[in-house]
């Protein structure tokens, strides 16, 4: 069954150990974030001196709380963590998140072993130490100790994100929010002393609110356990993985970060490929791939139709298709050719990429998308909309969003530019239409979509 993370992600009652009146302290920020996110369960603050913090009643010890506690979030200096965990165990706390750093990652292995022993003794699952904790957008749970004004928090969605690194995690969260597509869960697991990446992967595999999993990992705690889960998870949903420490210099760097023995990347890559994981090579890839995997249906084949209002962008996108191993450029069916020739102005060449020209507005896009939607020679559609051109405006956006509602083929957009463009991109993203700011990223995302469903179909 694996570890049940419900008491962490969706707790009915939470105690913040190390809650503080000082707004710069981690314990203060965590309590504040719980309050801000609209958490509906019971909140308790543990602090030796205060009567109450941020309007929440404070207790000196966790033992003084006479209610069942689903979760204790621990934000106190490392040397005091064992004693507090012992108290949590005695008080019957169901699970803990230790955000405190200063354990194995700086050589304090004994201290870490000690907190694992206590957690195991009380059968009390622990996340961390040295982690950011969790977000569950539906349960309105947020243990992140980062000031709210510094990062946008994503809305409710279907992508869940596992990160070994806290800072990389918060950066990606910020990007997800900025791009306007939603999050289901975020789990930062740090040193993986008790709960590791395999436990989390297994939990998310069975979570109905998670359609795509993205993960940043530096090492794998238990290879055999990971392979067991890896074998199953991609049959149910796609997993995009970015591995830190892929090169020998990178491996040295992971050692002092999360104490991970990164190991030979060839081995990891072999496992990822064998089990149909989607492999990312940079932080941004995680988003690029997740965006299309979470919103697009399985493609029937690998033939790409391209619609554009700028010839150069059409050529560059066509080149990107030509460079993939997986995809090929579609050819219009005779029926589509006749239809388009009849409806398009004479300057438009009837071929793929279909260049609608710079004065193209919503109507020309509508004709083009409808033709490609109905064309049996085309499996996936890339729509390039350059909003610097005279014809492209919110009328184009309206048509594309309208089509997106009932098209059964993958359809994504490339749109590149500054302010005016960003406004339109945001509209499309929020209507569930994936938008890419680079032709090669868009094409790679479709190639990964194709690869994933191709893998899944073979299983």
Site for its own copies in 265-324 (CB under 8 A): 281-284, 309-316, 318-323
CB of 197 closer than 8 Å to CB of 140: no
Kindly tell me which of 333 and 349 has the beta carbon lying closer to its own copies.
Answer: 349
Residues constituting the chain: 459
The stretch near its own copies (CB under 8 A) out of 46-54, 168-176, 335-343, 364-372 is: 168-176
Kindly tell me which of 76 and 88 has the beta carbon lying closer to its own copies.
Answer: 76
For 162, the 3-state DSSP assignment is strand
User: Cis link prior to 367 (omega < 30° from 0)?
Assistant: no
Residues 31-70 that bind its own copies (CB under 8 A): none
Distance between CA atoms of residues 119 and 93, nearest Å: 10
Residues 6-25 that bind its own copies (CB under 8 A): 24
Closest listed residue to residue 404, CA positions, set 438, 437, 431: 431
For 83, the 3-state DSSP assignment is helix
Kindly tell me which of 11 and 18 has the beta carbon lying closer to its own copies.
Answer: 18
**If you compute the radius of gyration of the chain from its CA atoms, what whole number of angstroms results?**
25
Distance between CA atoms of residues 455 and 459, nearest Å: 7
The stretch near its own copies (CB under 8 A) out of 13-21, 204-212, 267-275, 351-359 is: 351-359
Distance between CA atoms of residues 387 and 393, nearest Å: 6
From 20, 95, 160, 165, residue interacting with its own copies (rule: CB under 8 A): 165
From 82, 250, 301, 395, residue interacting with its own copies (rule: CB under 8 A): 250
Is residue 157 close enough to count as binding its own copies by CB under 8 A?
no
Q: Kindly state the helix (H) or strand (E) to which residue 318 belongs, with its residue range.
A: helix 311-323
Per-residue x/- mask for its own copies, residues 408 to 447, rule CB under 8 A?
--------xxxxxx---------------xxxx-------
Residues 321-350 that bind its own copies (CB under 8 A): 321-323, 328-329, 346-347, 349
Kindly tell me which of 124 and 332 has the beta carbon lying closer to its own copies.
Answer: 332
Residues 97-156 that bind its own copies (CB under 8 A): 101-102, 106, 145-147, 149-152
Closest listed residue to residue 277, CA positions, set 241, 246, 310, 326: 241
Residues 194-233 that bind its own copies (CB under 8 A): 216, 218
CB of 271 closer than 8 Å to CB of 226: yes
Phi, psi of 431 (to 5 degrees): -95, 10
Per-residue x/- mask for its own copies, residues 371 to 390, rule CB under 8 A?
---------------xxxxx
Q: Identify the residue whose tokens are 């191993």.
A: 325
Is residue 241 close enough to count as binding its own copies by CB under 8 A?
no
Binding-site size, its own copies (CB under 8 A)? 83
């Amino acid at each position: 069954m694996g570890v049940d993370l419900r008491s962490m992600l969706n707790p009915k009652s939470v105690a913040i150990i190390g809650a503080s009146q000082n707004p710069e302290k981690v314990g203060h920020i965590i309590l504040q974030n719980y309050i801000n996110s609209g958490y509906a369960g019971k909140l308790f603050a543990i602090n030796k001196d205060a009567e109450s913090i941020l309007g929440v009643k404070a207790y000196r010890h966790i033992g003084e709380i006479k209610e069942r506690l689903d979760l204790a979030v621990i934000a106190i200096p490392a040397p005091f963590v064992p004693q507090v965990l012992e108290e949590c165990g005695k008080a019957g706390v169901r699970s803990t998140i230790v955000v405190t750093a200063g354990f194995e990652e700086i050589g304090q292995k004994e201290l870490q072993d000690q907190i694992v022993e206590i957690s195991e003794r009380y059968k009390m699952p622990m996340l961390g130490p040295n982690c950011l904790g969790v977000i569950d957008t539906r349960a309105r749970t947020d243990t992140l100790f980062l000031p709210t004004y510094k990062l946008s928090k994503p809305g409710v969605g279907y992508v869940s994100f596992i990160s070994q690194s806290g800072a990389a995690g918060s950066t990606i969260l910020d990007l997800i929010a900025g791009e306007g597509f939603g999050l289901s869960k975020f789990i930062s697991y740090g040193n993986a002393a008790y709960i590791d990446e395999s436990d989390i992967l297994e939990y998310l595999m069975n979570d109905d609110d998670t359609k795509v999993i993205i993960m940043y990992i530096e090492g794998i705690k238990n290879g055999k356990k990971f392979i067991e889960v890896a074998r199953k998870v991609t049959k149910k949903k796609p997993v995009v993985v970015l591995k830190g420490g892929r090169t020998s210099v990178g491996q040295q760097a992971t050692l002092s970060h999360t104490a991970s023995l990164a190991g030979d990347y060839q081995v990891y890559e072999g496992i990822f490929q064998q089990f149909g994981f989607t492999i990312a090579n940079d932080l941004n890839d995680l988003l690029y791939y997740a965006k299309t995997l979470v919103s697009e249906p399985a493609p029937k084949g690998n033939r790409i139709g391209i619609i554009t209002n700028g010839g150069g962008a059409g050529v560059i996108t066509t080149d990107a298709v030509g460079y993939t191993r997986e995809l090929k450029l579609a050819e219009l069916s005779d029926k589509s050719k006749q239809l388009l020739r009849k409806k398009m102005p004479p300057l438009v060449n009837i071929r793929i990429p279909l260049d609608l020209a710079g004065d193209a507005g919503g109507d020309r896009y509508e004709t083009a998308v409808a033709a490609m939607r109905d064309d049996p020679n085309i499996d996936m559609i890339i729509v390039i909309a350059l909003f610097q051109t005279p014809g492209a405006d919110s009328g184009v956006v309206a048509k594309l969003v309208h089509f997106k509602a009932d098209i059964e083929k993958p359809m994504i957009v490339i749109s590149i530019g500054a302010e005016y463009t960003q406004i339109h991109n945001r509209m499309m993203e929020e209507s569930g239409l994936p938008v890419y700011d680079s032709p090669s990223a868009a094409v790679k995302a479709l190639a990964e979509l194709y690869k994933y469903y191709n893998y899944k179909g073979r299983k």
